[in-house]
Amino acid sequence: MNQENKGSVLIIGGGIAGLCSAYYLLKDGWKVTLLDSGDLKDNCSYGNAGMLVPSHFTPLAAPGIVAQGIKWMFNSKSPFYVKPSLSANLISWGLKFIKHANATHVERSAPSIRDLNLLSSNLYDEIAKADDFAFELQHKGILMLYKTEKMAEEEVHLAETAKSLGLDVEALSRNQVQQLEPHAKLDVLGAVHYRCDGHLYPQALMAQLIAYIKQKGAIIHEHTAVTGFEAKQGKLEAVIAGSKKFSADKFVMTGGAWLPDIAKKAGLRIPLMPGKGYSFMYKPSEHRLEHPSLLVEARVAVTPMNGYIRFGGTMELAALNNKVNMNRVQGIVDAIPHYYPELNVDMPAKKDVWFGFRPCSPDGLPYLGYSKQLKNLIVAGGGGMMGLSLGPAYGKVVSELAKEQQTSADVSLFSPERFA
C-alpha cells in the first residue's frame, strides 16, 4: 500500500462506483472526500440481485430487443417496459439505443465488457481476502434456466459465443441441472451454467465498504447534493453543494441514474435513462437453493443471500419516479412456480418491495474515463444491469487514471463523452 499523499480527490455519489473509487484511491494515498445527496443507506447498489456477471458480455442494446420491447409494452406484467413519452431525453436516448441494437455493436463491445467484468470479479476476490471483508462472495456460477425450445436454442447459441470468448460455461440437461439443486424441484427444459459468474450480498458489501473508507480517513458528507461546479481553463476547481463549496485536485463523477443531471451542471452531455427494477426477499422454510439463477423467459433474477432468496426483475425505462407498480411485481411472483414448483412465494406487501434505478446508457456500455472537456474529471457509471459487478473495476481504473497510469483494462470504448 502506498501511503504517500498524492493530493485530494472529491467523489460525487456513494453507490458502488463511488465507494469502490474511494477504496482504491485511499490505498494509493489520496485524501478522499465523498459527497452524496442521500444517507448512504439505500441506492441502486443495495437491493439488486448481487450477481457478478462476466456472462453479461452482450450489451442491452442487442439485436431483437427493440421488437421484443414493443411486444412487452402492451403487457402490464411484462419484465421490460418503456413508458411512451414525448420527453426529448427519452426520444434522443431511444434513437441512440436503436442505432446500437445490432450484431456489429455486440461483436465489437463483447470483449471489452467481458474483460472489465473478469477484472472486477478477480478484484472482488482480492477485496474479500485482503481486508477481511465478509459479504458472502461465492463462485458457484449462475444458472440460466429455460423452459422452451426457442430459449434453449438461443441460450445454447449464446453459450457457444461465451465459450469462444474464453468464458467457463456449460449447457446442462434437465437432469444435470436438477442434480445441482438437490433441495428444490425444478421444472425446466435445461440450463446454461455460467461457472464464470458469482454472487454476493450487496447490503453487507456496501456497509463494509463504507466502514472501511471511513476508517481509512475518507470524509463523507451525507445529504449533500451537488448543485453546481466551478471550472477554469478546462479544469474543475470546485464542486458546489448548496451553500458549500468543495475544492480538490481531481474529481470523480458517479451518481448512478442521476449522472446526466450532475454532468449537465458541469456542461457535459452524458445520456442515460433510469431502468427501474424491483426486488423482494423471501424466507424459504425448506427447498433451499444452492445457486443463483435467471429465469430466462420471465427475466427474473433469483439469488440466495443472507438465509433468504432475493427475487428481482423488470426494467421500466421512464423518467425518475418513486411509484411502485405492483403489477410488475406480480409478474415476478407469477413466474417463480413455473420454474420452482415447490416454492410457494406470496405477493409481498408494497412496503417490502425495494426498487432501484439502473443507470442505462443507450449503447449498453459503461462510462469510464477522463472527461475531454474538464481535464481533471474522471467519470464512472452507466453500468446498467451489471453496475454492481463492475464496482471494483470502476474503482481500480479510476485510481489508475488518477495517477496517470496505464489502466488494467482497455477502456477506450467507454469514453464518457462518446455521445457529445
CB 399 within 8 A of CB 25: yes
Per CB under 6 A, contacts with ligand FAD among 356-415 are 356, 358-359, 381, 383-389
CB burial readout 353-374, b (16+ within 10 A) else e: bbbbbbbbbbbbbbbbbbbebb
**Binding mask of the shown chain, residues 11 to 30, with x at each position contacting ligand FAD by CB under 6 A:** -xxxxxxx------------
Task: Work out how close the CB of 41 gets to ligand FAD at its nearest, in angstroms, rounded to a whole number.
Answer: 9
As a 3-state breakdown, the chain gives helix, strand, coil percent values, each rounded to 5, of 35, 25, 40
Q: Which stretch binds ligand FAD (CB under 6 A): 3-11, 275-283, 331-339, 341-349?
A: 275-283
The one among 180, 204, 225, 347 contacting ligand FAD by CB under 6 A: 225
Q: Which of 262, 300, 393, 402 binds ligand FAD (CB under 6 A)?
A: 262
- Residue 142 or residue 176: which is nearer to ligand FAD going by CB? 142
First-residue to last-residue Cα distance in the chain? 37
Contact 296, 148 (CB under 8 A): no
Per-residue contact string for residues 316-355; x = within reach of ligand FAD by CB under 6 A: ----------------------------------------
**CB of residue 310 vs ligand FAD: minimum separation in angstroms?**
9
Rule CB under 6 A: choose which of 33, 121, 138, 254 binds ligand FAD: 254
What is the C-alpha to C-alpha distance for residues 191 and 296, in angstroms, rounded to an integer? 9
Measured distance CA(295)–CA(315) in Å, rounded: 15
- The residue nearest ligand FAD at its CB is 387
To ligand FAD, the closest distance from the beta carbon of 389 in angstroms equals 3
Please tell me the distance from the alpha carbon of residue 220 to that of residue 195, in angstroms, as a whole number.
Answer: 37
Angle of helix 16-27 versus helix 391-402 axis, rounded to 10: 40
d(CA 235, CA 318): 33
Q: What is the DSSP string of 273-316?
A: EEEEEEEEEE--SS---SS-EEETTTTEEEEEETTEEEEEEEEE
Do residues 80 and 97 make contact, with C-beta atoms less than 8 angstroms apart? Answer: no
The nearer residue to ligand FAD, 50 or 174, going by C-beta atoms, is 50
The binder of ligand FAD chosen from 59, 141, 190, 255 (CB under 6 A): 255
Nearer to ligand FAD, 262 or 296 (CB): 262
Cβ distance to ligand FAD smaller for residue 48 or 138: 48
Binding characters for ligand FAD, 165-204, by CB under 6 A (x = yes): ----------------------------------------
Of 26, 30, 33, 48, which lies in the binding site for ligand FAD, with binding defined by CB under 6 A? 48
- 3-state secondary structure at position 110: helix
Q: Collapse the DSSP code of 247 into the 3-class scheme (helix H, G, I; strand E, B; otherwise coil) and give the result.
A: strand
What gap in Å lies between CA 188 and CA 71, rounded to an integer? 24
Which H/E stretch holds residue 98? helix 88-100
Q: According to CB under 6 A, which one of 32, 53, 191, 253 is a site residue for ligand FAD?
A: 53
* Chain residues that interact with ligand FAD, rule: CB under 6 A: 12-18, 35-38, 43-45, 48-51, 53, 225-226, 254-258, 262, 277-279, 301, 312, 356, 358-359, 381, 383-389
